């Protein structure tokens, strides 16, 4: 794909989305990242065709693989993991391990609350027995 076609595709992708990325869903952001990656790779390919391999501006295949890896991780693993069409501004990343720790602490507190209630009831029974 030439530079012109790359620019047209990128412009179309931009026209399809709002200016505020926080109002876009994770899937829209992932789609834009995928198009951006393709555009960048097409630009690199066109640029590399005009440069010698020893030119400082030449992007070697290892660097291209890294670029693809970054975009792939973001567009396929990070954003769609939210499984929602809600805007990005509404989403929060949570620490699953921390949530489990809090849940375990709450379960322990419930257990101690039960023990406390039982001890309180036993104390009340004992006090009632002393009054009789």
Neighbours of 20 (CB within 10 A): 10
Handedness of CA 120, 126, 128, 131 (dihedral sign): negative
Give pLDDT tens digits along the chain (132 positions).
677 887 888 888 777 766 677 777 777 777 888 888 888 999 999 899 999 999 999 999 999 999 999 888 887 766 655 566 666 666 677 778 889 999 999 999 999 999 999 999 999 999 888 877
In terms of Cα–Cα distance, which of 28, 7, 6 is closest to 17? 28
pTM over 0.85: no
Domains of the chain, residue spans: 3-93, 95-132
Cα–Cα distances (Å) from 126 to 42, 47, 114, 115, in that order, read 83, 88, 18, 16
């Amino acid at each position: 794909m030439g530079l012109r076609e790359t620019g047209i595709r990128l412009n179309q992708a931009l026209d399809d989305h709002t200016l505020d990325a926080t109002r876009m869903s994770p899937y829209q952001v992932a789609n834009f990242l995928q198009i951006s990656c393709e555009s960048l790779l097409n630009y690199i390919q066109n640029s590399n065709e005009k440069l010698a391999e020893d030119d400082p501006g030449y992007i070697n295949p290892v660097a291209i693989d890294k670029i693809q890896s970054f975009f792939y991780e973001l567009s396929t693993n990070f954003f769609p993991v939210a499984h929602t069409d809600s805007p990005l501004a509404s989403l929060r990343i949570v620490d699953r391990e921390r949530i489990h720790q809090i849940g375990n602490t709450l379960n322990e507190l419930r257990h101690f609350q039960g023990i406390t209630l039982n001890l309180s009831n036993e104390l009340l029974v004992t006090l009632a027995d002393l009054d009789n």
